[in-house]
Amino acid sequence: MKRVVMKFGGSSVATIEKIKKVAEILKRRKNGMNDIVCVVSAMGDTTDELLSLAGALSKNPSRRELDMLLATGEMVSASLLAIALNEIGEKAIALNGAQAGFEVKGRYGFAKVVDVNTSRIERELSEDNIVIVTGFQGMNSKEDFSTLGRGGSDTSAVAIASKLGVDCEIYTDVDGIYTVDPRFHSEAKKLSKVFYDEAMEMAHLGAKIIDPRSVEIAKKYGIRIYVALNSANVLGTYIGEENVEESIISNLSVQDNILLVKKTLRNESVAELFLNLAKEDVNIDIISKMDTEGKTLVRFTSVVDERDLIEKVADDFEFVENVSKVSIIGNAMRNQPGVAARVFDLLNSNGINFHGLSTSEISISIIVDTLVKEKVMSLLIREFEL
């Protein structure tokens, strides 16, 4: 049986005309498929507009009510797409996250998928429907809607694909995954294939192509992901198993709005500090610790949006804003000696000061002032021929 899960992002369904185009794409695809499940995001900037409406009423709206509100965005686009398909002669039905069987847990706005009971989806497919599912949402143990956070529709799509045991195709406003954001570097190369770990690093380190949670699910269940332009007429990029014979630096990613945090510890241990930050759900990235003259200086990075949460822990943090994280990613870090040395030499020879650095098995990330971010990017692009 030929089956596929297809996902269209918010820019792909931003207007009625674009919804009609997606309907035509699904109709053409149905000619060669038995079953299609299509996951959609909210139309265009709908999520931001709904947040703005809530903000006009309250400076601190209930997270539970926000999720009730935000869940409606995807319901609108799913319903409209089903109507468009019915109008052109294709059977289609729209299901919200609860109807599609999404069980989630965790705090409102940042829920995680526990399971997907696909019995309703299977039933609708057996009746020859194209099944349109709202991304980004599920039902928690309190029988409340809970959303998955930014990028959650990718996770919804891959979760369904993993339960059905089929490929997942993600259509967006870019035609694949590039070595560098083509808006910054016009000669960036499109990658025909990226392996799972690389894609996760890219997503975690600033590439806004796909949600990292979706790649984690795909890797766990061996689901191949295809990222392509929403016109579905240009060859995109496959995310799958690693080719062990390749050894390359495949991508440069950037994250802005990084927050550098410093604190001198006096009457607390490092463990106590980070336990207290964890209680406030603060996301921590690069950490360094230095002991001098009987004092312990701790530095770590978070994001600017977390500053209020950090300040709840103590009132003597020192904050440095206007910094960015620039990262190079690829399995050459694992398979080729000397990559880190090349990065250090490049920064040193060009007089680039950096606030911190972290490495993983397949990435090197540098924290620099946003003012020099583009210079650092250009240097790395030339050095590693990206």
Asked whether residue 188 falls in the same domain as residue 111, the answer is yes
In the predicted model, what is the mean pLDDT of residues 100-128? Answer: 95
Asked whether residue 304 falls in the same domain as residue 224, the answer is no
Asked whether residue 88 falls in the same domain as residue 150, the answer is yes
Asked whether residue 152 falls in the same domain as residue 280, the answer is no
* pLDDT tens, residue by residue, 218-244: 999 999 999 999 887 788 999 988 665
Q: Binding site for substrate, residues?
A: 47, 74
Asked whether residue 186 falls in the same domain as residue 282, the answer is no
pLDDT value, residue 233: 79
Secondary structure string (H, E, C) spanning 100-143: CCEEEECCCCCCEEEEECCHHHHHHHHCCCEEEEECCEEECCCC
pLDDT value, residue 79: 98
DSSP tally for the chain: helices H, then strands E: 12, 20
Q: How far apart are CA 21 and CA 17, in angstroms?
A: 6
Residue 167: give its domain's CATH number: 3.40.1160.10
Beta strands in the chain (DSSP E): 3-8, 35-40, 92-95, 102-105, 112-116, 130-134, 137-139, 145-147, 168-172, 177-178, 190-191, 193-195, 225-229, 237-240, 251-265, 287-292, 295-303, 318-329, 356-360, 363-369
Give the percent of the chain with pLDDT over 90: 58
Of 193, 211, 239, which one is at a domain's C-terminal end?
A: 239
Q: Binding site for ATP, residues?
A: 7-10, 172-173, 178, 183
Question: Is residue 32 assigned to a domain?
Answer: yes
Q: Say if residues 310 and 316 touch (Cβ distance below 8 Å).
A: no
Asked whether residue 288 falls in the same domain as residue 144, the answer is no
Q: Binding site, residues?
A: 7-10, 47, 74, 172-173, 178, 183
Asked whether residue 80 falls in the same domain as residue 224, the answer is yes
Tally of structural domains, the chain: 2
- In the predicted structure, residue 344 carries a pLDDT above the cut 60: yes
Residue 288: give its domain's CATH number: 3.30.2130.10
* pLDDT tens, residue by residue, 238-275: 998 866 555 678 889 998 989 999 988 877 788 989 99
Asked whether residue 68 falls in the same domain as residue 38, the answer is yes
Asked whether residue 231 falls in the same domain as residue 256, the answer is no
Q: What's the domain range around 138? A: 2-239
What global pTM score does this model have? 0.83
Asked whether residue 264 falls in the same domain as residue 210, the answer is no
Asked whether residue 34 falls in the same domain as residue 105, the answer is yes
Asked whether residue 312 falls in the same domain as residue 335, the answer is yes
- In the predicted structure, residue 196 carries a pLDDT above the cut 60: yes
Q: What is the mean pLDDT of the chain?
A: 90
